[in-house]
Amino acid sequence: MERLKVGVICYPTLGGSGVVATELGLKMAEKGHEMHYITSSKPFRFTDVHPNIQFHEVKIDGYAVFKYPPYDIALANRIAQVIIEEKLDLLHVHYAVPHAISAALAKDMANSSIGVITTLHGTDVTILGHDPGLKNTVRYGIDKSDITTAVSEALRQETLEMIEPEKEILTIYNFIDESKYRPIDPGCMKTALGIDANDKVLIHISNFRSVKNIPDIIDSFKLIRHETSAKLLLVGEGPEQFEMMEKVQAEGLADDVIFTGKRDDLPELLAISDLMLLLSEKEAFGLVLLEGFACGVPAIATNIGGIPEVVEDGKNGFLVEQGDVEAVAVQALKIFSDAELYERLCQNALLTVKEKFNSETIVSQYEELYYRIAGLT
């Protein structure tokens, strides 16, 4: 098949969407396509450089005359340049707002009819979409795109109901790189973190935004800790971090809750973890669940958004209603006390990634769309 030149626009530093944009670009580059990232900085998970990947930095000067530097316009300007200079075949933008808007403007600036695929990751629809002013902007971004995808069926449905776009939306699930996330020997990680060999380890990984509902994680852990010897790893950093540190102190849990900060060795941390907790109030997909599953770690998660498409109750973990910290504790203690159930959940977690979220299948779905909008099928 023909080699495509793809412009990719994403938030280089933002959680799951940045990870998906990065991993997808790497997989496409491995397939022989030329991937051009047009971003403010190098996406954070880009540790491996590939000869088929190029970066085009968006520079913006902080002119004193502007209260807010016009990043979206600077981005549009850079996209337009790259469309022309690199003779791109298509653009893949992650997030309708602001990236699909910048892409539409760039097309106009470059006087180009280049195809645009927009992937919705959640926050623009589930949060911005509630703002009546921005709802029209999200709709504009979707309707100006040739194809829009959503990372879960729940997000697709919510977008159709809330934003009422004219264009159809397809669901393409997220994926992870199975060669990075797999069960590995934990080595001496438990000792390094000061965790006793027999302690159960619960893990939560996020960007510590309020939507992740970390107080519920701490409250659930307190109930679990009351019944069994356990440690809670809180991995990541973000706006709620210091407040959560204060809460852990106030609850008398400082000896059992470990704030690791942002870490690159997630497979190692997952290798010592028995259970993942994700108790968000909104979650379009929950990429971190897949990272855990791929390492054989089952999850307890809230029954909201796209989570039930990933966590199947009783199969690879358990679903709880948002705010029901007692249910989290009951399910966790049940899992810890039943070795057979635990083993079944772990095996099913691994199978979920292999069968439902297989990276090869999902990358092919995107590739097919790339050819379609480049007019090559």
Q: What gap in Å lies between CA 70 and CA 60, rounded to an integer?
A: 8
Of 337, 335, 303, nearest to 320 by C-alpha is 303
Of 129, 286, 292, 298, the residue at the interface with ligand GMT (CB under 6 A) is 286
162 interacts with ligand GMT by CB under 6 A = no
Of 145, 149, 159, 174, the residue at the interface with ligand GMT (CB under 6 A) is 174
Q: Which is nearer to ligand GMT, 14 or 253 (CB)?
A: 14
Instruction: Give the helix/strand (H/E) hosting 336.
Output: helix 325-337
Minimal distance in Å, beta carbon 211 to ligand GMT? 5
| DSSP-assigned beta bridge partners for residue 55 | 37
Q: Which is nearer to ligand GMT, 221 or 285 (CB)?
A: 285
Q: Which is nearer to ligand GMT, 144 or 282 (CB)?
A: 282
Minimal distance in Å, beta carbon 353 to ligand GMT? 14
Of 12, 15, 129, 298, the residue at the interface with ligand GMT (CB under 6 A) is 15
What the block records as the tokens of 143 is 């309707």
Phi, psi of 12, rounded to the nearest 5 degrees:
-65, -20
b/e code 297-336 from CB counts within 10 Å (16+ = b): bbbbbbebbbbbbbbeeeebbbbbeeebbeebbbbbbebb
- The contacts of residue 367 (CB under 8 Å, 6+ apart) are 28, 31, 33
Of 14, 109, 162, 341, the residue at the interface with ligand GMT (CB under 6 A) is 14
Binders of ligand GMT among residues 201 to 220 (CB under 6 A) are 207, 209, 211
Minimal distance in Å, beta carbon 122 to ligand GMT? 3
What dihedral do alpha carbons 234, 237, 242, 244 form, nearest 10°?
-30
Q: What gap in Å lies between CA 23 and CA 25, rounded to an integer?
A: 5
Binders of ligand GMT among residues 309 to 348 (CB under 6 A) are none
Of 283, 291, 309, 367, the residue at the interface with ligand GMT (CB under 6 A) is 283
Of 128, 151, 299, 300, the residue at the interface with ligand GMT (CB under 6 A) is 151
CA 373 to chain centre: 25
141 interacts with ligand GMT by CB under 6 A = no
Q: How far is CA 274 from CA 16, 251, 295, 333, 343, in A?
A: 22, 23, 10, 12, 11
Q: Which is nearer to ligand GMT, 307 or 330 (CB)?
A: 307
20 interacts with ligand GMT by CB under 6 A = yes
Handedness of CA 224, 229, 235, 241 (dihedral sign): positive
- Which positions from 101 to 140 touch ligand GMT by CB under 6 A, shown as an x/- string? --------------------xxx--x--------------
287 interacts with ligand GMT by CB under 6 A = yes
Minimal distance in Å, beta carbon 97 to ligand GMT? 12
For tokens 């909201």, the residue is 304
The answer to whether 47 touches 29, Cβ cutoff 8 Å, is: no
Q: Which is nearer to ligand GMT, 52 or 123 (CB)?
A: 123
Residues at the contact surface with ligand GMT, assessed by CB under 6 A = 14-17, 20, 121-123, 126, 151, 174, 207, 209, 211, 282-287
